[in-house]
Amino acid sequence: MTGAIQKATQEQAKGNLANQAHSGAKKSVNALLSSMLDSEGYRRRFNELLGVRTPQFISSIVSLVNADANLQQAFYEAPLTVIQSALKAATFNLPIDPNLGYAYIVPFNNRHKNQDGTETKRMEASFIMGYKGMHQLALRTGVYKKINVVEIREGELKSYNRLTEDIDLDFVEDDEQREKLPIIGWVGYYRLMNGTEKTIYMTRKQIEAHERKYRKGQYMGKGWRENFNEMAMKTVYRRLIGKWGLMSIDYQKQVEPGTLAAADALAKGQFDDEDTLPPAPPVQPINTEGKEIDPATGEVQPK
């Protein structure tokens, strides 16, 4: 869907808006957006994708950009990145209020290499799905019977077969005593209605290495420093569902949720989500100033 929008005079639209921004003759976001939509069939494309929801969607983009100076810069320098990011949120039917943690639209100052070998920076917007958004898309399939991630304390892991993924755990029953034991790893597990199972286990060393690999800067981010266990569980969940699980942008329609047919249909890829555009939620303003994005979990955290 976004490819259709991207084809329509992308470079011309971006160039015109960037020139207006740098010349000091900036128009309002609403005026620039209307101008871009009216040029070369943009509005027609939005009408094809969103129908009667187009005016509400356009108004939501304006509110979103006006709430964040960095997003305003991204809109002037790379307007299609803002529109496409918002369109993804609408397609997934996920709210982008950062307090909810489902999805985010975040501006990044990206480097671009020119033909002459020099580099220039440009502010661009990106859509980032949080782990709660991924969990929501998993639940919408209606094919999961069980799904969970838990921490493993010292003495609770008896054995783990990396090949067959058979894991033997003996949890400490006394919660007060269990809380005193150090965490040695995290395990994620799901079972589908058709009996398909998946288990992944990550040790503390693996999680720590994962955090170091994806951290921005030299030091651990605020989220990891203040709640390492929760961030580790999010990381395991994203790996479990993002790599091995089933997700759908729409709620079940073609088959009843919770049936073997639902699981089999999704496993065979019979649901064509690309042609399904669920009703878009109200787009909430997001301010990314003073925040950092954790690539390991997809979370936006205060710096």
Q: Is the pLDDT of residue 189 over 70?
A: yes
Q: What is the pLDDT of residue 150?
A: 96
Mean pLDDT of 265-279: 35
DSSP letters for 34-64: HHHHHGGGHHHHHHHHHGGGHHHHHHHHHHH
CB 64 within 8 A of CB 285: yes
Q: What is the pLDDT of residue 131?
A: 83
Query: How far from 225 is each of 197, 222, 231, 264, CA to CA, in Å?
Result: 33, 5, 9, 41
Mean pLDDT of 136-151: 93
CA dihedral over 66, 87, 280, 53, signed as positive or negative:
positive
Choose between 211 and 249: higher pLDDT. 211
Q: What is the pLDDT of residue 254?
A: 42
pLDDT tier for residue 65 given thresholds of 50, 70 and 90: confident
Residue carrying the six token digits 């269990």: 178
> Residue 110: phi, psi to the nearest 5?
-90, 150
Q: What is the largest CA-CA distance in the chain?
A: 68
Q: What is the pLDDT of residue 59?
A: 77
Residue 140 CA to residue 132 CA, distance in Å, equals 12
Q: What is the pLDDT of residue 299?
A: 60
pLDDT tier for residue 297 given thresholds of 50, 70 and 90: low
Average pLDDT, the chain: 75
Residue 300 CA to residue 303 CA, distance in Å, equals 9
Least confident of 32-41, 149-158, 168-177, 185-194: 32-41
CB 3 within 8 A of CB 88: no
Q: Which two tokens stand for residue 78?
A: 């790379």
**Who's near 240: CB < 8 A, 6+ residues apart?**
149, 188, 189, 190, 198, 200
> Residue 102: phi, psi to the nearest 5?
-85, -45
Mean pLDDT of 203-232: 87
114-118: which pairs have CB atoms within 8 A and are 24 or more residues apart? Answer: none
Question: What is the enclosing helix (H) or strand (E) of 282?
Answer: none
Tell which residue, 212, 160, 213, has the closest CA to residue 187. 160
Choose between 222 and 99: higher pLDDT. 222
Q: Is the pLDDT of residue 122 over 60?
A: yes
Query: How far from 188 is each of 32, 116, 201, 218, CA to CA, in Å?
Result: 47, 48, 6, 29
CB 61 within 8 A of CB 37: no
Residue 303 CA to residue 297 CA, distance in Å, equals 15
Q: Is the pLDDT of residue 8 over 90?
A: no
Percentage of the residues of the chain whose pLDDT score is greater than 70: 70
Percentage of the residues of the chain whose pLDDT score is greater than 90: 30
Tell which residue, 67, 114, 92, has the closest CA to residue 2. 92
Compute the half-sphere exposure of residue 230: CA atoms within 13 Å on the CB side of its CA. 9
Q: Which two tokens stand for residue 177?
A: 């005593």
Q: What is the pLDDT of residue 174?
A: 95
For the stretch 151-166, pLDDT in tens is: 999 999 999 999 999 9
Q: Is the pLDDT of residue 194 over 50?
A: yes
**Who's near 246: CB < 8 A, 6+ residues apart?**
138, 141, 143, 144, 192, 263, 266, 267
Whether pTM > 0.75 for this model: the answer is: no
Q: What is the pLDDT of residue 80?
A: 83
Q: Which two tokens stand for residue 144?
A: 């999961």
In one letter, which amino acid is 260? L
Least confident of 18-32, 54-68, 88-102, 113-127: 18-32
pLDDT tier for residue 249 given thresholds of 50, 70 and 90: confident
The residue count for the chain = 303
Mean pLDDT of 57-70: 79
Q: What is the pLDDT of residue 258?
A: 42
